[in-house]
Structure 1
């Protein structure tokens, strides 16, 4: 069986940007990440356990190459001391354990956050590719190519319409739930060749490097959630996280994620200072139109020109949803669309809805109060209720 992960760059950019910030701001944080499958797989994931453990062994044998470190160092927001840290970094096998829980697969990464936080995307890509190998690969490839061609035709038809004030731009967010590494590469090469006016880049750092694409990403939920357990007053954790981000990147990577405790609670903390400093916001749960309208109303209240800001939509998107959102917002702000599974795993087999989320930090539970039913994640009901009370959020 060949290695599914062959490079430590084969992950999302925001893993590096969050990693650097945690190394500089909270290097002693201890963390626990837990694998969850949200839908019912076509076969028990516990069957994958021997292969998962073998792939984890191989992942923990990898290190960054000189060429990879040079690429990371060429990104202006990556600092030299972080590159030096990565030069000696290697995953520790003792920090991650996979086991069977009945028919389910249980994977937990636990240890210093700066040593375990990068497991996430690799674990998800490994599990999903092993799962997809259980099915007809040739048929999946035929279906995937047919559907990709149809997507590009739909894109050409849509972009033939009169454009809105701001251009339509989309990018790949599909590493974590891809059908395979090879298929993600083929998809990106096809889009690069046939959809280049609208295709803006990828979250996958390795493919950005190798294909000459723009690497895209800023922060994920785990970044803000960590601040629920770093010693700041719980009510202040969002502002503390945003402030550390501002100080770390000084104007780079200016898209803030809004749904760790819901959009309303986020906007209550996203005052004029942050609204001016950040380039825009990213949507990842709840009604995207309602979310976008709240964002635009917030900018209007602060007397900020929304045409100077970007709204990034990234929740379960396909092109039809992206087109509708562009028509709705494209004349009022700069919309962009991060599209994941629909690009990298639309091959006729129902994809897994898998995540590996931060569940504890410094021995304390952390939580995400999602704007979408089923996305709230916390293993401690008492803390969840407390978080809801502090931010006056109904569940």
Structure 2
């Protein structure tokens, strides 16, 4: 097992790469990329870093030269032979050759496109522009680089024994969480913590701890590199990016209203009926399900990623019943801001009513709260989102208005088109 404290202490090397591989990314990014490569390859998009936690002034913490060095390193990466073999030949979700030969040939020759970086008001403005299949693959590496450089900046003056104690405390905290999770019968939980992790080595340690501590209750990781390295399942389906870009490309209100369903129609065709998980909250869960075509009711389940998770699950249960489906045969994946207390509460409320699963993110792979002065290692909310497509702005409404993004006039238009009324704001922590 890697001595994390020693590695952190030795970050005075010429460069200690944050991102070591193009598959040090979330599995859903590759699944979506293949679909986009097939259906919308010539769409031009802009992705932008968005720090929702303004109190964390990243440009005052992270050295610009070091950031550029890490981003340039990511641009130098290409798919390794073993990684390509794993993607081409492995079985994912029971399906062999999940990734088509034409997509794999393209991916094997890919280098990530250029980036634009500048400082403004104590923050970094980091953007990526180009063809959608290429630019989208910057999202996770960009977040991983920023998050780990922030961790390194906070820890850089700590001595080796201080670091040993820090990581011992973090390990103990996680293990105590795992011991509580052991008490949940028939638990199904996966690591979703790549995008806002403390660091790659720490995420890898967390995955190993979950493997040993939870056994078969731990279903896998969203991180492709760790899944390959640890010989466990790669977990993921799709994200808000797809409906956001499809909606931005819609030329009128009628097409806009249908855009989220066109996404899933293309997804169904792409994956031959596999990976049938609905992410309904991009423009409001209740309205999405109310207007959904009948064929979506037969899908496997939904992922809940904003708003009140219990309320969203109750809406889904009512919808399935109204559609003549048995909710007990449906899967609900909770994935927003989870920690042990919420996992316990949601399991108690919904076990037996639906099949319950959890995607545990930031509070698994980045819970160092209270360990340094000023709580400077506390997790914060950083995202990298598509902000325009073919020159048109993207919009996300979410079930939590504090997660909404886009120009105000477009947000108002989307609310009108999708029938989104008053919403309850919830604090966005991670």
TM-score, normalised via structure 2 length? 0.87
Contact 1:285 1:372 survives alignment (8 Å): yes
Q: Secondary structure at the match of 2:319?
A: helix
Q: Secondary structure at the match of 1:196?
A: helix
Whole-Å separation in 1 of the counterparts to 2:261 and 2:166: 45
Hey, what does 1:145 align to over in structure 2? 171
User: Of residues 268, 271, 276 in structure 2, which corresponds to 1:246?
Assistant: 268
Hey, what does 1:370 align to over in structure 2? 398
Give matches, 1:347-366, under 5 Å: 347-348=368-369, 349-366=377-394
Whole-Å separation in 1 of the counterparts to 2:281 and 2:324: 23
Hey, what does 1:318 align to over in structure 2? 339
Residues 1:18 and 2:46 aligned together: no
Contact 1:120 1:356 survives alignment (8 Å): yes
Q: Secondary structure at the match of 1:63?
A: coil
Contact 1:129 1:180 survives alignment (8 Å): yes
Paired residue total: 384
Hey, what does 1:155 align to over in structure 2? 181
Once the two structures are superposed, residues 175-201 of structure 1 have per-residue CA deviations (whole angstroms, 9 ceiling, x without a partner) of: 111111000011111111121131111
Hey, what does 1:275 align to over in structure 2? 297
User: Of residues 80, 90, 94 in structure 2, which corresponds to 1:65?
Assistant: 80
Whole-Å separation in 2 of the counterparts to 1:66 and 1:169: 32
How far apart are 1:387 and its partner, in Å? 1.0
Once the two structures are superposed, residues 276-318 of structure 1 have per-residue CA deviations (whole angstroms, 9 ceiling, x without a partner) of: 1x21100000111110010000000011111221000000001
Task: Give unmatched runs, 5+ long, in structure 1.
Answer: none
Whole-Å separation in 2 of the counterparts to 1:265 and 1:81: 37
Whole-Å separation in 2 of the counterparts to 1:43 and 1:140: 23
Mean Cα deviation higher: 199-208 or 78-87: 78-87
Q: Secondary structure at the match of 2:378?
A: coil
Contact 1:45 1:131 survives alignment (8 Å): no
Once the two structures are superposed, residues 102-138 of structure 1 have per-residue CA deviations (whole angstroms, 9 ceiling, x without a partner) of: 2111111111111100100100010000000122361
User: Of residues 381, 406, 413 in structure 2, which corresponds to 1:386?
Assistant: 413
Structure possessing the higher relative contact order (Cα contacts under 8 Å, 6 or more residues apart): 1
Hey, what does 1:55 align to over in structure 2? 70
Q: Secondary structure at the match of 1:304?
A: coil
TM-score, normalised via structure 1 length? 0.94
Residues 1:215 and 2:215 aligned together: no
